[in-house]
Amino acid sequence: MSETTPDSGLPPLHGHENARDALATAWKRGRLPRTLLLHGRPGIGKQRLAHWIGQLVVCTEPGSEGPCGRCRECRLARRIEHSGIHWYMPLERPRSRGSRDRNAEALEDARIQWIEEARRTPYRPRRHDIVRGLHLGTVRNLRKSAMKGAGPGGKQLFILADAEELVAQEASQEAANALLKILEEPPEGTWFVLTSSEPGRLLDTIRSRSTALHLTGLDESRLEQVLTDEVGAPAEEAARAARLAEGSLGRALGLLSDDGDPGPLEAIRQDAFHLLRAALQPEPGARFLRALTYSPSGARTLTELFSALEIWLRDLGAAASGHRDSILNADAADWLMKQPDRLPLDPAGPARAVAAVQKAREEAAGNVNPQLLLTGLMRALNGALLHSRS
Ligand SMILES: [Zn+2]
């Protein structure tokens, strides 16, 4: 099936060939699971594949490779306009804290706006500075819509993106129960696709009702090609972003510059570099000052900072073992290669430091103060990376 870049709507689907084959075969045999869980790293196209599954379900002439791509249903699906494909995602908490119904309405308006933006801008980096959640109102809206049943085509598919965001909020049990009820007894002709980059945070009850499918990203050269040919990035920038994004188109988009400004993930990458440098300082004062540059709330927005920090630490490990070619932050390769001579770097340090970042990542899922969390993390990094000088 050939796919061209649309004027508006979903970007072309890349990769996931094995998953697509398996899904198309399952569909043909009438064996597509009622609830699928697509999991894998952020930005690798889980929601894009979920839309493809929606297209597969509504297509009037699906083949062995998937939806035909030509019928009316396929065209509507590609434009994110198909009435049988419903897309739900984490959203900001509505500002009007009114009644349940008012909240649910505000969330529905925000969801429609989100979809309109996605339609207008097929390639858009994800915002990392906003705390979003799957609120009870969103789940109630989804449930209400699903209970109405499928329209004229007789089939409907619901996408619930970042399903792990059901847990990190109050009233989560109620939201989870509302979702569980509909997953347990889906109306006739209804399928669900959940996506998650942190399946470990999913509620057990939800995970146990889904058939999991693990997805991986694109290889570096293919990602680079998508960035130059479709997104229109300059070759050098595309190469740099593809290397750092490790197969994730969503990440790569955030690393590209935006009208001369660094992209949101590029800013975070530089931020993570300063955090690492502060962590390597002997005086706790430098680390404390660095931590104070962060907001005292919103720890859940730090996920990407931790991912960037992990790459810096792995690069430091590569430098410590003399593997310059393995360094992903290629622009800082000279600085990285100098550190093992300059510092009392413990050879096992970078691996221990990555473990400390993972621990901080788990803590950030709760409602902790980012300044305290990062002060503690930098202290842990310092202890993990350096031999004591005494
Ligand atoms: Zn079709």
Both tokens assigned to 68: 């035909």
The CATH number for 65's domain is 3.40.50.300
d(CA 176, CA 381): 36
Element (H, E) at 205: helix 204-207
Q: Say if 252 falls within a structural domain.
A: no
CA 125 to ligand 1 centroid distance, Å: 29
Residues 305 and 180 occupy one common structural domain? no
Residues 277 and 186 occupy one common structural domain? no
Q: Say if 271 falls within a structural domain.
A: yes
- Structural domain span for residue 354: 257-385
CA 159 to ligand 1 centroid distance, Å: 19
Backbone angles phi, psi at 188, to 5 degrees: -50, 135
CA 260 to ligand 1 centroid distance, Å: 40
Both tokens assigned to 139: 């789940």
Element (H, E) at 191: strand 190-196
Q: Say if 11 falls within a structural domain.
A: no
pLDDT at 4: 47
CA 74 to ligand 1 centroid distance, Å: 4
Q: Say if 298 falls within a structural domain.
A: yes
Could you write out the three-class secondary structure of 216-279?
Answer: CCCCHHHHHHHHHHCCCCCHHHHHHHHHHHCCCHHHHHHHCCECCECCHHHHHHHHHHHHHHHH
Residues 199 and 261 occupy one common structural domain? no
Residues of the chain with pLDDT under 70: 1-7, 96-97, 167-172, 388-390
d(CA 207, CA 229): 38
Residues 295 and 377 occupy one common structural domain? yes
CA 114 to ligand 1 centroid distance, Å: 25
CA 52 to ligand 1 centroid distance, Å: 11
Residues 184 and 280 occupy one common structural domain? no
CA 201 to ligand 1 centroid distance, Å: 35
CA 73 to ligand 1 centroid distance, Å: 6
pLDDT digit string (tens) for 279-314? 999 888 999 999 999 988 887 789 889 999 999 999
CA 193 to ligand 1 centroid distance, Å: 19
CA 66 to ligand 1 centroid distance, Å: 9
Q: Say if 230 falls within a structural domain.
A: no
Residues 136 and 187 occupy one common structural domain? yes
pLDDT at 170: 54
CA 99 to ligand 1 centroid distance, Å: 42
What 3-state DSSP class applies to 5?
A: coil
CA 55 to ligand 1 centroid distance, Å: 7
Residues 194 and 285 occupy one common structural domain? no
pLDDT at 82: 96
CA 76 to ligand 1 centroid distance, Å: 9
Q: Say if 232 falls within a structural domain.
A: no
pTM for the structure as a whole: 0.90
Residues 52 and 160 occupy one common structural domain? yes
User: For the chain, how many structural domains are there in total?
Assistant: 2
CA 210 to ligand 1 centroid distance, Å: 26
Q: Say if 122 falls within a structural domain.
A: yes
Residues 57 and 154 occupy one common structural domain? yes
CA 368 to ligand 1 centroid distance, Å: 48
CA 191 to ligand 1 centroid distance, Å: 18
Backbone angles phi, psi at 261, to 5 degrees: -85, 150
CA 77 to ligand 1 centroid distance, Å: 9
CA 141 to ligand 1 centroid distance, Å: 28
CA 158 to ligand 1 centroid distance, Å: 18
Q: Say if 5 falls within a structural domain.
A: no
Residues 208 and 121 occupy one common structural domain? yes
Domain limit, last residue, from 159, 191, 214: 214
CA 45 to ligand 1 centroid distance, Å: 21
Domain limit, last residue, from 214, 229, 247: 214
Residues 196 and 261 occupy one common structural domain? no
Residues 324 and 262 occupy one common structural domain? yes
d(CA 277, CA 294): 16
Domain limit, last residue, from 196, 214, 232: 214
Backbone angles phi, psi at 63, to 5 degrees: -110, -170
